[in-house]
Structure 1
Amino acid sequence: MSAQTISRDGTDLVKAFESCLKPISGRKGFFTTYICPAGVLTIAWGHTNDHGRAFKAGEVWSQAECDTALAQDLTTFETSVSTILKDVPL
């Protein structure tokens, strides 16, 4: 997998449209799993068990873990798009 090339501005744009959901009451900066509208177990910034770090229902992640998963997810998606769009500058 290639290194992530999305800029900080790009990551901030993603964060503006995607929320780090299901904060734990009384534990600032910690998040737990939830079922998204599509019925999929999710945590953090929309991370699922389809790729990257796996998790179980009820698991708790820190803000740093959520942000790391987002960066890894973006790298995965960026690699997939670059593979498909070989002759198109992005």
Structure 2
Amino acid sequence: MIKVEEKLFQNRYRVDAGRPHIEIRNADICQHSCTSKPCTVCCPAACYTREGDGRVTLITDGCLECGTCRIICNEHGNVDWHYPRGGYGVLFKFG
């Protein structure tokens, strides 16, 4: 049986250096207002990481462009999300 992680590994991601398609609008909201930090557990590509001091870091490399972070952060509206420029972002191997 093939695991999800093995299938995700077969996808490729073309990084658009210096032009992330997702940004955290206000880091203070993540650190102080958002106690559960759901983005750090709901993102299927693990782009969000909870740091020991309560900060949330975002690395968009490998993002699946699913929009989960936009939905899960709806309470705070702290995610600025748009599709990457053409030719960049996730390149799915299996369609």
TM-score by length of 2: 0.26
Q: Which protein has the bigger strand share?
A: 2
Q: Quick check: which one's helix share is greater?
A: 1
What's the TM-score once normalised by structure 1's chain length?
A: 0.27
Q: Which has the higher contact order (CA 8 A, sep 6+)?
A: 2
